[in-house]
Amino acid sequence: MKNSFGLFVNKKRTERQITLRAFSNIIGISPEYLSKIENGLRSAPNDIVVRKIGQALLLNCEEEEILFDLAASSKTYPTLALDLVEYIMENEEVHQILRLAKRYDVSTDDLQRIIDMITEKYF
């Protein structure tokens, strides 16, 4: 999964028929660096560039979530997807839920019940 971020970016860029050179110019990195990312030789760039990639590729909400997840998983250190970090930081209740779930080692069954409840309400 380490190079999935680069493959995803390459696929979306080529679907939009944007050359590597043109795309690197749009997102503000060198063509060489973008090539290394797309070929799995480098992990995802910083969050600012990842966000620019999502905007430049005109990704829908689900595709953007995939982009952020793949960017986080490409890193060599533990991290969360950019959109999740922002959401947690902006919502004290989400932070509190996560802290309590960790503290009390909430079971996967209980977590699944929360997921089911949210799914039933919003989908």
- pLDDT by position in tens, the chain (length 123): 445 999 999 999 999 999 999 999 999 999 999 999 999 999 999 999 999 999 999 999 999 999 999 999 999 999 999 999 999 999 999 999 999 999 999 999 999 999 999 999 999
Phi and psi at 57, nearest 5°, equal -85, 0
Q: In whole angstroms, give the CA distance from residue 48 to residue 74.
A: 16
Structure token pair of residue 52: 């620019």
Walk me through the domains of the chain, giving residue ranges and CATH numbers. 4-76 (1.10.260.40), 91-122 (no CATH)
Tell me what pLDDT residue 2 has. 47
Q: In whole angstroms, give the CA distance from residue 72 to residue 50.
A: 10
pTM to 2 decimal places: 0.87
